[in-house]
A and B are shown apart, each in its own frame.
Chain A
Amino acid sequence: MVKKLTGLTLSIMMTTVLAACGAANDSANGGETTGASSNAAANVNANANETASAPAEKIKIKYWYAFGEKIEEAKQHLVQEFNASQDKYEVVAEHQGNYDDLHAKVQAAFAAGDAPAVTDLEIASTGVFARSGMLQELTEYAERDKDELQLDDFNKGLMGNAYVDGKLFGLPFMRSTPILYKNVTMLKEAGLDPAGPKTWGELEEYSRVLKEKGKLGMTVPADIWFYEGLVAQSGGQMLSDDGKSVLFNSPEGVEPVAFWKKLATEKLIKIPVGDEAGATADKDFANQLSAFKFASTAGVTGTLEIAKANGFEMETAFMPSNKSYGVPTGGCQLVMTSKSSDEEKEAAWAFIKFMTTKENTIYQHKHVGYLPTRMSAVESEEMQEHFKQFPQYKVAFDQLEYARPRPMETAYPEVAKLIREAIEKAILTPDVEPKAALDEAADKANKLLAK
């Protein structure tokens, strides 16, 4: 019985399908009535009219970005502006987590042949991505549109990570340096000069006074980015110039860890470790437990809001100097992936150009706090006025004078992990000497870099 029923249903379905096909063929074959054919003609005309008035089909490309809140607001806003500014291209922006998440996803998507045409890329990873052929070289595009692009207008201090082996791969987008955030109210209450520490020695003195008041000097995660800054301030380098060996276990590299360890052991500063370390530093600063924090200039707008809500005065300053001032740059640039079609690449290039214009770098700077990437933007009246009104925003730009690019070696992400572990080990384990921990990491790192 069941079988029979199935047979019946099947045959019915087959008939229906076949009949439908037949009908379709009929009308396609030239129509039985004049009415039908005139209808078809009318349809063709209507289509033609549509194509004349509006472009056939917008070229749609994907843009992947990192981070939420203010940063995301700014990126989404710029994408909307771009889509509204022209009718050839449409950019679909998709949030992908933090930089590490974003990089992992772009790589997987690229392997699967479904990469976004444009993506944010953390500057230190430009080397890995470019050398493995995932990025489209931009040199020709930049040459073709040089009048419009004004490549020279970008701040020199930010272009170091835009080139890999002499070829242009990205344009500076939301770029940063770490800066010192100060809770001026706490300093005044502790009877300290609100100007804040200019040197490591002063940072220590400030912290001693703050400790007596039951507070902390600063909460600082053992972050590779801050460490790069402290090494630069001590006059050292992370890697040798050819990138084949490490230099962070030199005295200039050991000094920052020894300094951190000393201050942490005396409980003058707190060094949280682990995934939540950055969040802990933010919380301690927001709750006025610590008077200082190191953080990206991307946090200026957000921290100003927090300071206002929690009733304290916040200012920013250079990271204190040891032998000299010095900071790494950070943040992301916009890059184009290499496997898109030529049309998509044109769309991507138009989008990248739009995102990095003078007007838009001013917008993202004011909305988030990232650096203004173009000199013409910095010199503009709008910006000078803004700097005057909120000097907190200007520090990161002034500090660029002492900035250096981040290492871009293929093995650097792994080297960075080794360094972070060595710092954690030196700080969390009382009897481990900073030098010994860094030497151990240097041995492993040298093997990775030599490959």
Chain B
Amino acid sequence: MTTAWDKLRPYGMVAPAIIIFSLFFIYPIFYMIYLSLFDWNFVSPTKSFVGIQNFRDLLTDADFRKVLSNTTIYTIMTVTLTTVLALLLALWLNRKGILHGFVQGAIFSPHIISLVSISLLWSWLMDPEYGLMNWVIGLFGFGKLAWLSHPGTSLISLVIVAVWKGVGYNTLVFIAGLQSIPGDIYEAAALDRSKPWTTFMKLILPMLSPTIFFLVIINMLGSFQVFETIAIMTQGGPINSTNTLVYYIYENGFRFFKIGYASAAGVILLGIVGVLTLVYFRLLSKRVHYR
């Protein structure tokens, strides 16, 4: 016999999670969409309804296009570099040994440091006049680089920081992926006298594809929403060369007090991230080897 309690219990159990989720995720999303239709500064008593004017302004704004292209370039570079480097490191580190353990620990350590500290640290390292980076490349006979202070090098400098921070975690996940490949498959490959390259392409990569898929998605979503390093290291400059979507939203909302405009940009970010996630799940999942 089922009582009312039996029927209600599951709902009661998930209620706390659902309430928090609705309050801090669902409600803000709808509120943001609502705000994107207004011209408002967040504090004045009246907000004026402007319809889709904010979106029209955004799409005709050359700065916004620059911001979108910055974000895309940043994401592609960060995701590619992080994933490839992490995979190479994982292949090298996937064995026992003191050196390997040490390297694994060393490259993982940035992951647990606050991104704010990392940003400050790298601002100093990349100082054109007094920074360690320029001193090091000077030892190899190269001239000084401007790093963050020239539009030509600023975005790639931020990518370096992101890769430095992310590669350890990615390597760890890859190693876990490698270790979950059953040993007998390698034995079979060895019996067939498979060359290392063939083993890698035909065996390791397909077996690792769920891991790769997972990492590419979380790296991409993370990179698309990069904020801390930019807020601390460049503030979007010089000449907007490092202004990315989330910083642009912050800048418009909290520096220029244009909440409606910022919300409209937020809606576009939501759309992009949503579509990317869908596309990835649809397209890539077909090629991913699931066991």
Query: CB within 8 Å of B: which residues of A?
Result: 100, 103-104, 107-108, 110-111, 128, 131-134, 272-277, 280, 283-284, 289, 410-411, 413-414, 417, 420-421, 424-425, 428
Contacts and interface: CB of A to CB of B under 8 A. Distances in A.
Given A133-B43, A275-B123, A421 B256 contact: no
Contacts, number: 80
Contacts of A131: 44
A274 B123 CA distance: 11
B128 A107 contact: no
B45 interface: yes
B127 A276 contact: yes
Interface stretch (B147-155, B166-174, B186-194, B214-222): B147-155
Given A274-B238, A425-B239, A132 B127 contact: no
B151 A276 contact: no
B232 A275 contact: yes
28 contacts: A103-B254, A104-B255, A107-B41, A107-B257, A108-B42, A111-B43, A131-B44, A132-B44, A132-B257, A134-B43, A272-B128, A273-B149, A273-B237, A273-B238, A274-B148, A274-B154, A274-B233, A274-B238, A275-B123, A275-B237, A283-B130, A411-B256, A413-B255, A413-B256, A421-B237, A421-B239, A425-B239, A428-B151
Given A133-B45, A280-B127, A274 B254 contact: no
B240 interface: yes
B250 to A, nearest CB: 8
Nearest to B232: A275
Interface in B207-240: 232-235, 237-240
SS of B interface (majority) = loop
Interface string B16-37: 0000000000000000000000
B42 A111 contact: yes
B255 A100 contact: yes
B240 A284 contact: no
A275 B234 contact: yes
B255 A132 contact: no
Contacts of A284: 129
B254 A424 contact: no
Contact of B149 (A133, A274, A413): A274
B240 A421 contact: yes
A132 B41 contact: yes
Nearest to B119: A275
Nearest to A411: B256
Given A100-B255, A274-B238, 7 more contacts: A104-B254, A132-B44, A272-B149, A275-B123, A280-B128, A283-B130, A284-B129
